Structure formats: structure tokens, C-alpha cells
């Protein structure tokens, strides 16, 4: 169980970092520019993006604000990153990324894609 938890933790950190990297590039920012906005070192941004350093919630919120990304969009993309890396992990944790069925007002493209990946 501990080994499974460590693997999952590593996958989550990697998927979060991969998405931060993608968003930063999409916004045309360098690691140094994002680091300056957060008042951290460029090396720290690199650690987050490579998934080798835990990121706290406060820092994640500030990063997402600077990258103009909602939590919903961010974690939807993180889920897809996890699914690309490890399908059994993504299916095990899908309930964290999709709201329970009663909350759906209609199926959107992302929920359809995510359900197809797991199903």
C-alpha cells in the first residue's frame, strides 16, 4: 500500500508540474518571468514543473492566477495528464476530478472525453 501511495503521489506531482509548464509556455512566459511574479527562484519554478518538489495550495493558487487558469480547467488537464501516464491511477481517482452525477446539468465535451478515457 505504501508503495502504491508513493507511486500515486509521484504521478500527481508530475502531472501538476506538467500542466504548470504547459500553461506557462502557452502564456509565453519564461520560468524566470513566472518566478519573478511569485517572488521565488527560477529553480523553484523548474522544480514544480518537473514534479520534484511539492507545491502548497497557496502557491498553486497564485500560479494559476498568474497563468489565468481556473481550478476546474487546471485539474481537468491534470487528470488527462495522469490518464496519459497511468490509466489505472486515473480511473482509481476519477471521482476527485469529476463532480457526482447529480451535479451535471448536461454532458460537456471534457466530461465526455474523460468518461470515454476511463470507460
Residue-level pLDDT, tens digit, the chain, 119 residues: 444 556 666 889 999 999 999 999 999 999 999 999 999 999 999 999 999 999 999 999 999 999 999 998 999 899 888 888 887 777 777 777 776 655 555 555 566 666 666 55
pTM of this prediction exceeds 0.85: no
User: Domain range for residue 105?
Assistant: 2-118
* Domain CATH number, residue 59: 1.10.260.40
Other beta carbons within 10 Å of 97: 20
**For the chain, how many structural domains are there in total?**
1
Q: Are 57 and 2 in contact (CB under 8 A)?
A: no
Question: Which residue intervals of the chain are DSSP H helices?
Answer: 2-26, 31-38, 42-50, 57-66, 71-85, 87-92, 94-97, 109-118
Amino acid at each position: 500500500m505504501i508503495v502504491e501511495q508513493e507511486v500515486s503521489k509521484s504521478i500527481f506531482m508530475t502531472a501538476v508540474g506538467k500542466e504548470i509548464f504547459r500553461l506557462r509556455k502557452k502564456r509565453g512566459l519564461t520560468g524566470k518571468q513566472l518566478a519573478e511574479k511569485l517572488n521565488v527562484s527560477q529553480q523553484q519554478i523548474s522544480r514544480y514543473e518537473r514534479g520534484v518538489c511539492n507545491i502548497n495550495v497557496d502557491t498553486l493558487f497564485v500560479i494559476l492566477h498568474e497563468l489565468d487558469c481556473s481550478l476546474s480547467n487546471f485539474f481537468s488537464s491534470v487528470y488527462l495528464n495522469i490518464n496519459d501516464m497511468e490509466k489505472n491511477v486515473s480511473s482509481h481517482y476519477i471521482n476527485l476530478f469529476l463532480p457526482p452525477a447529480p451535479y451535471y446539468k448536461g454532458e460537456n465535451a471534457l466530461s465526455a472525453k474523460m468518461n470515454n478515457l476511463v470507460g
